[in-house]
Amino acid sequence: MKKIYMTLVAAMFAVCASAQIYVGGNVGISSVDSDWSDDSETYYKLLPEVGYKFNDDWAAGVMFGWSKGQAELSGLSDAVHTFEINPYARYTFFHSKVVNLFCDGGFGYKHYNGAANQWSIGLKPGIEVKLNKFSLVAHVGFLGWEQVKGIDDGPKASEWGVNLDGNNITFGVYYNF
């Protein structure tokens, strides 16, 4: 496993010489105390991201990662471990010295360990605040299609639409080479 990580790091540094690469991602951690359990649960999310800027308007990247959290899907309501990967194309439609507005279009796959698989395709609007070599990035909402299907022909749920509620916000930090 260490060899794989070292190979990925070496490849990232080799590609970063072009000065159009960004790396970063999202990290989250929380602790939940409940009345129905004597122990508190710690939930986490680690979602690294790497991307390449073709020009000022277009970029492509991939977010991938792992999490442990509470799942409320397809009849499952328990702590689960997940793996996800989300490749995307990004179009930046508003530029200023400090702020960029963009929209990511892509698809995603998320595996809930031993429980379900989730597929999605759609658009995620976002904002980038540029701070020299670093950028603060936020995505707000989702417009598209999502399907969750239980393993071994378990229950299936599909959803089309717009989800712009406050529970669908992510924050991240990028380093721009």
Q: What is the model's pLDDT at position 79? A: 65
Q: What is the model's pLDDT at position 36? A: 61
Residue 108 vs residues 16, 61, 85, 99, 169: alpha-carbon distances, Å: 25, 12, 6, 26, 16
Place of tokens 């072009």: 18
pLDDT in tens, 6-58: 676 666 555 555 558 999 998 888 777 766 666 677 788 899 999 999 999 99
Select from 111, 136, 113 the least CA-distant residue to 126: 136
Residue 113 structure tokens: 């360990």
Residue pair 137/127 in contact by the 8 Å Cβ criterion: yes
Select from 22, 19, 118 the least CA-distant residue to 73: 118
Q: What is the model's pLDDT at position 69? A: 76
Q: What is the model's pLDDT at position 74? A: 45
What's the CA gap between 115 and 143, in Å, rounded? 25
What's the CA gap between 89 and 159, in Å, rounded? 22
Antiparallel, parallel or unpaired: β 76-95 and 21-32: unpaired
Q: What is the model's pLDDT at position 35? A: 64
Q: What is the model's pLDDT at position 8? A: 63
Q: What is the model's pLDDT at position 105? A: 96
Cβ atoms within 10 Å, residue 23: 16
Q: What is the model's pLDDT at position 151? A: 81
Q: What is the model's pLDDT at position 27? A: 84
Segments of the chain with pLDDT less than 50:
73-74
| Domains present along the chain, CATH in parentheses | 21-176 (2.40.160.20)
Residue 116 structure tokens: 């379900």
Residue pair 86/62 in contact by the 8 Å Cβ criterion: yes
